[in-house]
Structure 1
Amino acid sequence: MSIGSTELLAALVPGFEGFAWPWLLLALPLPLLARRWLPARRNAAAALKVPFGHRLEPLARGAGGIRGSGGQWLHWLAWTLLCLAAARPQTLGEAVQPPQAGRELMLVLDLSGSMSEPDMQLGGRPVDRLTAAKAVLTDFLDRRDGDRVGLLVFGRRAYALTPLTADRESVRQQLADSVVGLAGQETAIGDALGLAVKRLRDPGSDPEASQERVVILLTDGVNTAGLLDPLKAAELAADAGIRVYTVAFGGDGSLSLFGFQMPMPGAGDEIDEATLRKIADATGGEFFRARDTAQLAGIYAEIDRLEPVERPGQALRPKIERYAWPLGVAFAFGLLAFALPRRRRA
């Protein structure tokens, strides 16, 4: 079939892509070639000889030709459709988008008493540390389309509020409902990290779908509670191939009020930066220090860059086989060509 014919089919059939085996279209003229070059079949039956036989020859040629009666045009339609079916016509299906390949990401948030200190600024007004952290984490979640995210909070004890899930709206809701003191007033960093590692290693995680498992731990204090030492928890994370990013969050112990720095009692408690740095180094992650909301937002933007979500590839349109249609119609024409002469004789 010529290029022009293929373009005609593309115009008539929406989504027509072409033929998988176009070379089989070369079989279209085979009946004509066979009729032209193969010797005629000899009839050994008795024949009637008449003196006007030369007058019957045009009639005989017309009856056996392409334009003859007896459904010859149905034979040719059936043969043409058989050749089209053998060439495997194909159309393009609906576009298919490859799925995103994200990470298994556990957010670990400190809810100890010191997170209520109002030494942060958000939108030009003073807020406590937890409110600032929630705003930054919510914005971070908006950029993690494709990840399975879990939320774990800790104070004196550690609790998993949200298991690993692709439903980020559930994580946002649980994050919004979290309040200081929900898990106690103290700080159990080791227990929180150990529980995060356990959640990433349990059957609920899907190592086949995502080989990248990450913990982001935010705290503003030192380990003052719990049974598991933070460095021992870091060893467990490293053995499991889990990267841990640690974020030390808290001001310098003062509050800006009408342009003056006012000291806040208890707000300048020391953060165990050395231990947090060791946890990050042991697991292949990084340690960050944030003293205000802007720095915290920049840290999560940097983590977003370090742990990118793999974007979906280019959309593809699969090829769908359509040989069944011409094959079915060719079968129908063949039946008609077989039945039509017998009906006329009847």
Structure 2
Amino acid sequence: MMHFAWPWMAVFLPLPWLAGRVLPPAPPQGGALFLPFAASVASAGVTGFRATPRARVLLFALVWLLLVGAAMRPQWLGEPQPVPTTGRRLMMAVDASGSMAEQDMAGGATRLQVVQTVAGEFIRHRSGDQLGLILFGSQPYLQAPLTTDLDTVGQFLREAVIGVAGQQTAIGDAVGLALKRLQAHRDAAGPQDKMVLILLTDGGNDAGLMDPIPAAKMAAAAGLRIYTIGVGAPVEQGAFGPSGNTGLDEATLQTMAQITGGAYFRATDATALQAVYRHIDQLEPASGETQWVRPSSEWFAWPLALALLLSVGVVLMRERS
């Protein structure tokens, strides 16, 4: 649809008529520069302006109308396009170590497969947030930087492969990398947004340079809240000893969450993991619904160019008169 960005410029439409009615005629002046329009108005005055040939008056009026129309900035508005708001910066750190290949979740799926399915649904519902993804094992790797393109983040999560970052678990280094990326984005965007890290693992810290507790203290000092999730089958005592995910360091994960003001959750199957993400959605609601804007293209050049072409006709008419 057509739209005028500066419609108030229309007040200048009667300006030539008012100038001819109010201003006295300018005295004739000699000079090297000849302006056909100004010369005809100045030499004829009000009476002369009325006596100007009808065709030339209409041409003058059309040129002025086009000039005012160009000054009103005509624009063509396209179809509304979604533009997500950005309030929270949320980083997900997902354990991709070798133990995530264990098939102790419901349905015989591996731990990572369940995480990919449930976390992917969580990502799709974070409209309005900037979200990033870290995969960690023996070392952490930034798989997706902070972005509002949630579909791409979900795709990177679905393409995660067990062991891609090593077989061990560097929880502290994963927190350090998440904090580094979030702080770098805060410096660029301003300190008004909230920073959240969701760390999901099935083991304890057995690799990396940084211990999880000091890393959590650094995160708390920087304003980063950490939600930790422990995955894997629950530990049960059987005739041959304990079974289930015995390698999970729940005490460390609980302490990390407590230090940063977050929370710790235990997910033993897909249903429990879905409940965890619903709970996090309640604790950290998405920043807002998608806003809509209309892309616009400027059209002022068309009436301006037409006015320039018609002014040539004004000059020709003046030369012939």
TM-score (norm: length of structure 2): 0.70
Asked which structure has the greater CA Rg, the reply is 1
Alignment partner of 2:84 out of 89, 100, 104: 100
Instruction: Decide whether the 8 Å contact of 1:27 with 1:83 is kept in 2.
Output: no
Structure 1 stretch 141-150 or stretch 211-220: which is displaced more? 141-150
Structure 2 residue aligned with 1:164, among 145, 165, 169?
145
Task: Tell me, yes or no, if the aligned pair for 1:290 and 1:299 is still in contact at 8 Å.
Answer: yes
Give the corresponding residue for 1:21. 9
Structure-2 separation of matches of 1:99 and 1:65: 54
The one-character-per-residue Cα deviations of 1:129-182 (angstroms, maximum 9, x if unpaired) are 22211222233333456635232222xx22305251546547634653421585
Shift in Å at residue 74 of structure 1?
1.0
Aligned amino acid, residue 234 of structure 1: A
Query: How far apart, in 1, do the equivalents of 2:49 and 2:164 lie?
Result: 97
Q: Tell me how large the CA RMSD over aligned residues is.
A: 4.0
Consecutive unaligned residues in structure 2, runs of 5 or more: 28-46
Instruction: Specify the alignment match of 1:134 in structure 2.
Output: 116
Q: Secondary structure at the match of 1:314?
A: strand
The whole-number CA distance in structure 1 between the counterparts of 2:145 and 2:114 is 24
- SS of aligned partner of 1:287: strand
Residue in structure 1 matched with residue 230 of structure 2 by the alignment: 248
Higher mean displacement: 130-139 or 312-321: 312-321
Structure 1: state its 5+ residue gaps.
Answer: 1-13, 42-62, 255-260, 342-346
Q: Which of the numbers 60, 78, 81 marks the counterpart of 2:60?
A: 78
Q: What is the one-letter code of the residue matched to 2:12?
A: L
Report the residue type matching 2:195 in the other structure: R
Name the counterpart of 1:277.
Answer: 254
Mapping 1:1-346, distance limit 5 Å: 15-17=2-4, 19-27=7-15, 29-30=17-18, 33=21, 71-79=53-61, 81-82=63-64, 85-86=67-68, 88-95=71-78, 97=81, 99-102=83-86, 103-121=88-106, 125-144=107-126, 147-154=130-137, 157-160=138-141, 162-164=143-145, 166=147, 169=152, 172-173=155-156, 175-179=158-162, 183-185=166-168, 187-201=169-183, 205=185, 207-209=187-189, 211-253=193-235, 266-269=243-246, 271-304=248-281, 306-316=284-294, 320=298, 322=300, 324-325=304-305, 327-329=307-309, 331-341=311-321
> Quick one: distance in 1 between partners of 2:181 and 2:197?
11
Contact 1:106-1:152 at 8 Å conserved across structures: no
What is the alpha-carbon distance in structure 2 between the residues aligned to residue 16 and residue 114 of structure 1?
60
Q: Secondary structure at the match of 1:308?
A: coil
The alpha carbon displacement at 1:243 in A equals 2.4
Q: Is the CA contact 1:111–1:181 (under 8 Å) kept in the aligned structure 2? A: yes
Letter in 1 for 2:115: A
Alignment partners' CA distance in 1, 2:299 and 2:99: 66
Amino acid corresponding to residue 244 of structure 2 in structure 1: A
Tell me which residue corresponds to 1:3.
none
1:169-196 per-position Cα deviation (integer Å, ceiling 9, x unaligned): 47634653421585224x4322332233
